[in-house]
Every structure is written in C-alpha cells, then in structure tokens.
Structure 1
C-alpha cells in the first residue's frame, strides 16, 4: 500500500480528495439529479468535510473505500468522484462513480472509469471489478455495459428498500479501452 499518484487522462485527472474539495463535493452530491442514485449522502457541508478527513491515506488497503476526485485538467475543478472498495480477498474491488450534473454527458465518467479499470488491473493486479447501479440510472448502466461489465445479479438493499443491479468485469474480459480516444 502506498500513497496514490494522480492519474492523468486527456481532459481529467484522478487524485485524492482534499478538505478544500468539500464544498464542491457537497454541492454536486446533494443535487437532486445525483442524490437520487446515491447511497453516500451528506446532510451538510460538515458531513462532506468529515468524510474527506476520515478517508484512508493508503491506496489499496483491504477492506477500505478509497475515494478519488475527478478533476478537470484545464481548471482543476472537481467535477466528480470515484470510489474503490478494496475487498478482503485482495483479488476484487467494488467501484462507484459520480459526476456533477453540469459535467454529465460529456464523456468524463468514461475517461475516469477507463483509467481506473486499467490502473486496477494492470498495476494493482486485481482479477475482477464489481459495480452496482440503480436500475433507473440508465446512463450508468449503459456506461458499464459499454466498458464490458456484465450484469451479475439484482439485489434489494434492505436498509433502503432500493433495488440495484450488480455488474462484474473480469480482468480477462477487459478490452483496455483508451480513455483518450473512446471518451466521446
């Protein structure tokens, strides 16, 4: 385990969240178009600050979620976040991602997820990734399918009475999409 070195793509970079990012994180995570699909919710700015302050510092620590910001290269603006839950097996991780409403439908999620999938398979040695999404989140479902994730099961989250579709991508099935050329 080590500190995370930022990953640069053509228009974005992935880097650990810092306290200065709390306001932007809070703003897009509480937007109704985003919040309806989130399990991680903030009541106020202090919740977002506490969330960032408590994030693990070591990337790849089993049993932890590691949250990265998705930042525009040209402005440094936080436009989303990507979380990786390193499972205890050490061979699989769960991934989730969120893009602010003003930055959706521009290929930023594609760029971020492609870069992270490449990184996790090539540099972390993971054998598979899982991601879950609300059945109503059509854009997220299409993105996962376009990347090669396959629907595995539908689960009912008991604490929220919400259904989710769980997808899996195995390392052997990854086509290694280029985040630079396939973003559109």
Structure 2
C-alpha cells in the first residue's frame, strides 16, 4: 500500500501535516487573500475540524486529504499546503489542491509543489486521472494548473457559493501519460 513520507523538489520539501502545523493551517484559512476564491470566513472551531480531518496517516485508499506542508529547503519556512484527495475507487482518480501564504506567492512554489504531487499520484500511487476545480476568476491558480499539464475541461455554472453568491467553477483534468 502506497504511503508517503516526504516529497522533494529543487527548492522545496513537502511532508504530511502534523499537530504542530496548526498555526500555519489556521493562518491560511483566516487570510482573505488566500481564501478569496476558496471558502467563506469560518470560525476557528470549523477550521480546526478541517485541520484534524487531515491529520490521520494517509494511503492511496484513504478517504481524507493527503495534506502536505510545503517548506523552503533553504530556510525551512512553511510556505503553504498542497495535497490530494484520493479514494475514488475503482476509478483511479484523485483531486489535487494547493494554498500558499501571500508572501510566498508568485515565486513558482505552487507549480513546483504541484508537479511533485502529480508525479507522486500518477507514478507511485498509480492514479489514472487527476482533477482540480477552481472558482472562475482565480487566474493565478488556473495558470498554475495549466503549467502542470492540466487541461480545462469545462465550466460548472453556478456550482459553488461564496459570500452568498453562486459562482462558476472551472474544471481541470490531467491524465497519466500526458
């Protein structure tokens, strides 16, 4: 059974979220620059419930997110989170996602970490397809996905509500071998 310890890239390391990463997780989910296209403001208790749901040991058959803390190799600074949600058996699919602190955006860390997650998911885990959904208007995340080989497959009209307003989602996919 495929489990994960660490993913590495030229500039980054990614390790599974631990209880010590609560301050990072809370900061990400409370920063309006991070959550603008993702979620409405949540209470600290609601954010903590999300956090604890991502702490159990992960394997490719798990029904919870593999949540990886992204760190700069040079400084050890935590820059954000990346990961995947598997368990779409028997269809061999997973959903990917990433969040970066504002001060670490526009440095290529999102794409660099996502490439590593995709390589792990498609290689070691043997998934056939990776999916991602992005709220329409989140151009930076769209570009990151496209740079990582994802193709826009369509728009889900009014599929997600933010701030009481129905928003469209862009749907992306990447197949093994692409």
For normalisation by structure 1, the TM-score amounts to 0.84
1:157 to 140, 152, 159: 159
Between Structure 1 and Structure 2, how many residues are aligned? Answer: 172
Correspondence 1:124-143 to 2 at 5 A = 124-143=125-144
Indicate the larger mover: 53-62 or 149-158: 53-62
In structure 2, relative to structure 1, the CA distance for the partners of 1:63 and 1:24 (3 Å cut) is closer
Instruction: Identify, as 1 or 2, the structure richer in strand.
Output: 2
Pick which of 55-64 and 119-128 moved more.
55-64
**Partner Cα distance (1:39, 1:3) in 2:** 29
Shift of 1:158: 5.0
CA RMSD after TM alignment = 2.0
**1:38 aligned residue:** 38
Residue of structure 2 in register with 1:177 after alignment: none
Please name the residue that 1:24 is paired with: 24
**8 Å CA contact 1:62, 1:88 repeated in 2:** no
Is 1:147 aligned to 2:139, yes or no?
A: no
Unmatched segments (≥5 aa) in structure 2: none
Structure 2 residue aligned with 1:65: 65
User: Could you tell me how far 1:159 is from its partner in structure 2?
Assistant: 5.0
8 Å Cα contact 2:160-2:169 kept in structure 1: no
Q: Does structure 1 retain, via aligned residues, the 8 Å contact 2:65–2:85?
A: yes
Secondary structure, aligned partner of 2:114: helix
Task: Give the 3-state SS of the residue equivalent to 1:172 in structure 2.
Answer: coil
Deviations 1:73-98 (A, max 9, x none): 23322211113111233511111111
Matches of 2:75 and 2:42, distance apart in 1: 25
Partner Cα separation in structure 2 for residue 150 and residue 15 of structure 1: 27
Alpha-carbon spacing, 1:128–1:3, altered in 2? closer, same or farther (3 Å) = closer
Aligned equivalent of 2:176: 171
4+ aligned runs moved over 3 Å, structure 1: 39-42, 46-50
| TM-score, normalising length: structure 2 | 0.86
Structure-1 separation of matches of 2:120 and 2:40 = 24
